Amino acid sequence: MDSLTQIVLGAACGEIILGKKIGNKALLFGAIGGTIPDLDVFIGGLLYDNEINAMVFHRGFMHSILFSILGAFLFGWITHKLYNTGKRLNSTTQKDWIWLFFVSLFTHPILDCFTPYGTQLFAPFSDYRIAFNNISVVDPLYTLPFLICLIVVLFLKRTNSKRLKWTKAGIYISSAYMIFTIGNKLYIDAVFEKSFEKAGVSYNRFSAQPTILNNILWYAVAETEDKYHLTFYSLFDKSKTAEKIITVDKQHNLIDMNDENLQKLAWFSNGYYNVYKKEKIGTYKYTDLRYPMLNPDDINTSVFNFTVFYENEEWDILPFNGSPPSKEDFAKFTERFWGI
């Protein structure tokens, strides 16, 4: 999920493990632990000149179970060595710090698994990405109540028993909302199944996920032999099925997708993508159709698209190289959110 949410969850882990011993510093170190896995965005940029490889590196090894274990011992050992000096000598143990970093590191990819992006939890042994698709990458209803509870904790002394109660309250509230989104996902999947059946779309598979910032308006993409069928459904819709379905061509044959880098790009999209030629010769628009359009009526407002080009004897991308969304697109999104 987004950085703020991971910071909040990591801080809560720190408070649970070491709050009684070191107070607000436990929140700080937990937040640091919860942030570490997402540093792969910057590390990938340093390791790879090719943007495709850098993008694929994100939510890879640094989001795995193995990294959580190795990182816990490494960061726990380093932090204990630096912290266990002067007046703080023997106030904490190395085991405390290893446990703090393990919990904050491990809960990060676990939380990410519930989003549509996908997390390589078993890397480097497997590149399978776990994505339950039940909550948006950014969802204020998950994050804000949790954040408010931890802000209260900041103003309580470390010896105050209410610190733990407020921390647990944040965990319980956010977890209850997560359970709601899972149930909502099961319901919405059934709605989309009925919707495609009603529209006569005989699909091979489909994927559904909530749109950004909410769990009310959902988007689905269904795959057939040579096309994709895109639709939206809001919990505020009067109908029991999605009524409008947009159909787009795959056009996968426009580029030789057997190329190693392009195969990585297709893997990243879980096979849900289409390709269009751009005006400039040798460049293509690649749209990751797992993610919804901002304007539900216009496929060209899909935010997750790249310009694909061939340079220095390899395929590469310019990420998110499109026109910024307009006020009209935002208005269409808001209108669709409230149902039809």
**Average pLDDT of span 235-252:** 97
Predicted local confidence at residue 290, as pLDDT = 96
| pLDDT greater than 90 at residue 113 | yes
Note the pLDDT tens digit of each residue in 204-217: 999 999 999 999 99
* Tens-digit pLDDT profile for residues 42-51: 999 999 999 9
**Segment 131-173, tens digit of pLDDT:** 999 999 999 999 999 999 999 999 999 999 999 999 999 999 9
Residue with tokens 């269009």: 276
For the sheet with 217-223, list strands across it. 205-210, 217-223, 227-234, 245-249
3-state secondary structure 112-170: HCCCCCCECCCCCCCCCCECCCCCCCCCHHHHHHHHHHHHHHHCCCCCCCHHHHHHHHH
Delimit the domains of the chain by residue range.
Answer: 3-131, 250-326
Task: Write the CA distances from 143 to 139, 170, 186, integer angstroms.
Answer: 7, 9, 22
Q: Is the pLDDT of residue 321 over 80?
A: no
Give me the percent of the chain exceeding a pLDDT of 90: 94
Alpha-carbon gap, residue 33 to 164, rounded angstroms: 19
Could you report the per-residue pLDDT of 11-22, keeping only the tens digit for each?
999 999 999 999
Q: 112 near 38, Cβ under 8 Å? A: no
Tokens of 1: 């999920």
| pLDDT higher than 70, residue 323 | no
